[in-house]
Structure 1
Amino acid sequence: MKHALQNIILEIHQKEDKISSQGKTLIDEAYEMTLYLQDLLFSAKGHIIENGFCNDAEEINFFRTIKPQILGKLIYYNKVYRIETACPVDNGKMYYGYFSTQLANLKREYMAHVCNTDFYRYYRSGRTDRDDTYFKRGNINYHDGLNSIVFEIDPLFSTFFDYKIARIIANELLYSYLLTKINPEENPDTILQKPESSNDVFWTDSKNALIELVYALHASGVISHGKIGIRKISLMFQILFRIPLGDLHHAFLRMKTRAGSRTAFLDQLKLSLEEYMDKDL
């Protein structure tokens, strides 16, 4: 199970990719991921309570990195499900107003409870000098006036600050999701309704591969001298290949934490080109 815990993040990404490739609605995808992550969190809890950790480093890694990924995405997908199932209409002013209100609420909550805290600055700076305090069980300091959620957590499976990181992860994913919903050029349905002037041109690799290419072109600044944003670049490819790419930021976050090469598609492109060059030698 120790080895399984280390691979949990990879397993979550694989599950997301599998569900995404099945063409499910966002509501169905969010619901399925919520159930999956809930079971995953329950299984991890059972293992930790029964077996504990081999050392302090393993405990800190779990509560700083592994558990927040599970809980953060569980919070995210559950919120997406609630937002989508309460959406009043498919488009128009009410649709835009609904998601704009959700985004405003998220920003207000984030400013009030997350980004102005000492812990947020500690986590964002990449510091580790207080990890023994923040990510080991039994160190909760009630004199700090912590959020009341602290009284509901299981002290055998939480340090409270793992929950704080989970909220940061969830809020970032929700922010990207809501921006996509209120930005018309990110609407896959709109893109797929474009005239099909070249039916023989279509993308035959994965969506993640195309997103990797889009981000590489954006990062290198080779299109319009780097003066256009990632969304416009992605829109061009979505129209060209008539393929909705969905939540770009979410996919990019998965790439940053994927096992092995983070630029697998670009690596393969380079290899393929070199092999093609060698044919003429």
Structure 2
Amino acid sequence: MVRSAIFNKILSEINIKEQDLLLDDTSLIEQSCMMIGLLQEVLIGFKEQVHTDGFVDTSQEIEFFKEVKPVVLGKLIYYNNVYRIETTCPVRGGKLYRNYFEGQLKLLKQNNVSKLDMDFYRYYRSGRTDKDAEYFLREQVHLATVLDSFYFEMDKKYSTYYDHLVARFIAQDYTYNYLLSRIDPEIPVNFGSQDIPDDLQWTGTKNALIELIYALYISGVLSHGKIGVRKMSLIFQNLFKISLGDIHHAFHRMKDRSGKRTLFIDQLKDSLEQYMDKSL
């Protein structure tokens, strides 16, 4: 039988591979090629396992088609988008380069996948679960709601219409943030109308914040390690209204520091221990 722990282990291995490629300073084109191959293999393995072993119960089937397969497929769609965009973009820098990515962002907005089924999009984004059996069990699609012809070509034993939609939502989010970072990495991204105090600001150095971001990213403590370092960086820049520039190269400069390389993390540890000692 299919076990959730097996799927979770595979998702963790995918995240580790992404981290390794990022820290090795792999180009986006190389990274995309490698990840496309890996993710395709994972999906093929999932398919064979589902066909052979099935699921323990309907709750596990829902979990797979809502939480597991869409993550892998969404990343596959995303990396395919990145590879396509990067291999056809003009030389880096200049107005032509910026216009190209602005045009790609405009196309992404025009082809917003949420338009395919706005009711389901709201359902998924709100975190509801009351209709999961309708959306994420196989053979449950009401044909009147199907707007994409790809559904009729699906392997119905391995797919639902809605697991594919979730994958496309995920890919759209990743692609949106990737394009924003290409257009202007200096501009923080607005992730919503959070009630952030106007006087909230980062008063440490930029390198300290970058060090913290990478520490949180590598440890996998945010969103079970499913959030990428670029997106995490954009969130922190938006939160503190600060521009961090190219955090990837800044991090590699930290690796070449003489003496202690984790200056800020060490400082945090020392400050916390001193506070604890005073509280005794």
Q: What is the TM-score when the length of structure 2 is the normalising length? A: 0.72
Distance 1:68 1:112 in 2: 15
1:237 to partner: Cα distance: 9.0
Equivalent position of 2:137 in the other structure:
136
1:139 to partner: Cα distance: 1.1
Letter paired with 1:174: T
Mapping of 1:166-245 within 5 angstroms? 166-185=167-186, 208-209=214-215, 229-230=238-239, 233-235=242-244, 238=247, 242-243=250-251
Q: State the SS of the aligned residue for 2:111.
A: helix
Distance 1:143 1:203 in 2: 50
Q: Go from structure 1 to structure 2 and tell me whether the alpha carbon gap of 1:162 and 1:236 turns closer, same or farther (over 3 Å shift).
A: closer
Mapping of 1:262-277 within 5 angstroms? 272-276=270-274
1:277 to partner: Cα distance: 5.1
Distance 1:56 1:146 in 2: 26
Q: State the SS of the aligned residue for 2:92.
A: coil
**Structure 1: runs of 5+ lacking an equivalent:** 187-200, 220-227, 246-265
Q: What is the TM-score when the length of structure 1 is the normalising length? A: 0.72
Mapping of 1:52-63 within 5 angstroms? 52-63=54-65
Equivalent position of 2:152 in the other structure:
151
Distance 1:271 1:206 in 2: 12
Distance 1:17 1:168 in 2: 22
Q: Go from structure 1 to structure 2 and tell me whether the alpha carbon gap of 1:67 and 1:73 turns closer, same or farther (over 3 Å shift).
A: same
Equivalent position of 1:80 in the other structure:
82
Q: Go from structure 1 to structure 2 and tell me whether the alpha carbon gap of 1:165 and 1:237 turns closer, same or farther (over 3 Å shift).
A: closer
Distance 1:84 1:41 in 2: 24
Distance 1:60 1:268 in 2: 43
1:274 to partner: Cα distance: 3.2
Mapping of 1:92-107 within 5 angstroms? 92-107=94-109
Equivalent position of 2:201 in the other structure:
none
Distance 1:125 1:279 in 2: 43
Aligned residues with identical type, % of pairs? 38
1:30 to partner: Cα distance: 1.0
**Greater shift in the superposed pair: 164-173 or 207-216:** 207-216
Distance 1:68 1:29 in 2: 20
Deviations 1:93-125 (A, max 9, x none): 1111110110000001116734x6111011111
**Structure 2: runs of 5+ lacking an equivalent:** 188-206, 223-228, 254-263
Letter paired with 1:140: V
Q: Go from structure 1 to structure 2 and tell me whether the alpha carbon gap of 1:181 and 1:272 turns closer, same or farther (over 3 Å shift).
A: same
Aligned 8 A contact 1:202 1:242 in 2: no
How many equivalent residue pairs? 236
Superposed CA RMSD in Å reads 3.6
Deviations 1:4-61 (A, max 9, x none): 1133332221111111111111110111111111111111111011100000000000
